[in-house]
């Protein structure tokens, strides 16, 4: 009975998700543009790989930045799943779909925001990468519950039918 619970208790599972969404938005500012992150990442890469060419270091910088997109939204997808399922345990396809829909929408808004930041570029490919991170997170959670609950008799009632089979 969600209506009888205090508002703070109902919102508590959402707090980490909201904080993470705010961190994603902060990472979309000028502070995390390629020109700013290159000040830190390129010297570190050069120290690790002193004989690498400038092109290789730039490519690695780009790879690190794209990996950050993926991981930001991987974590966001996990946090959303946790918030959506609330007090329930397990995994349900509808929870995963709702989490992915929220991620896709938030990612699109994030890219739209970046279109107004002069040092950033908006890219539908980044949004796809973001959503892929969350999709992989959902698949891994599904696999986790699938492996963990090999015996269908041991699966709690609130776990998805796909996991119970």
| pLDDT value at residue 153 | 57
**pTM recorded for the entire structure:** 0.81
- List the Cα angle 10/69/118 in 5-degree steps: 105
| pLDDT value at residue 65 | 85
What is the full per-residue pLDDT of the chain (165 aa) written as tens digits? 555 667 777 788 899 999 999 999 898 877 777 776 778 888 898 899 999 999 998 899 889 988 988 999 999 999 999 999 988 888 899 999 999 999 999 999 999 988 888 888 888 999 999 999 999 999 999 999 888 877 655 555 555 555 544
**Domain assignment present for 121:** yes
SS3 84: helix
| pLDDT value at residue 11 | 83
Asked if 131 and 61 count as a contact pair (C-beta separation under 8 A), the reply is: no
Q: How far apart are CA 92 and CA 104, in angstroms?
A: 19
**Domain assignment present for 115:** yes
| pLDDT value at residue 13 | 86
Domain assignment of residue 89, given as a range: 12-164
**Domain assignment present for 128:** yes
| pLDDT value at residue 97 | 97
**Domain assignment present for 3:** no
> What are the CB-based long-range contacts (under 8 Å, 24+) for 37-42?
37/61, 37/65, 41/65
**Domain assignment present for 2:** no
The total domain count for the chain is 1
**Domain assignment present for 5:** no
**Domain assignment present for 6:** no
Asked if 72 and 10 count as a contact pair (C-beta separation under 8 A), the reply is: no
DSSP-derived letter for residue 18 is H
**Domain assignment present for 7:** no
């Amino acid at each position: 009975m969600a209506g009888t619970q205090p508002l703070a208790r109902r919102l508590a599972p959402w707090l980490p998700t909201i904080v993470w969404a705010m961190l994603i938005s902060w990472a979309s500012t000028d502070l995390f543009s390629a020109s700013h992150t290159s000040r830190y990442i390129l010297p570190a890469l050069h120290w690790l790989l002193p004989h690498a060419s400038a092109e290789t270091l730039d490519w690695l910088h780009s790879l690190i930045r794209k990996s950050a997109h993926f991981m930001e939204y991987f974590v966001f997808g996990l946090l959303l799943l946790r918030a959506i399922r609330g007090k329930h345990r397990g995994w349900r396809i509808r929870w995963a779909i709702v989490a992915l829909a929220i991620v896709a929408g938030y990612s699109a808004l994030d890219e739209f925001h970046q279109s107004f930041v002069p040092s950033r570029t908006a890219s539908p490919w980044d949004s796809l990468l973001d959503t892929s991170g969350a999709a992989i997170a959902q698949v891994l959670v599904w696999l986790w519950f699938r492996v963990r609950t090999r015996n269908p008799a041991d699966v709690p009632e609130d776990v998805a039918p796909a996991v119970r089979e």
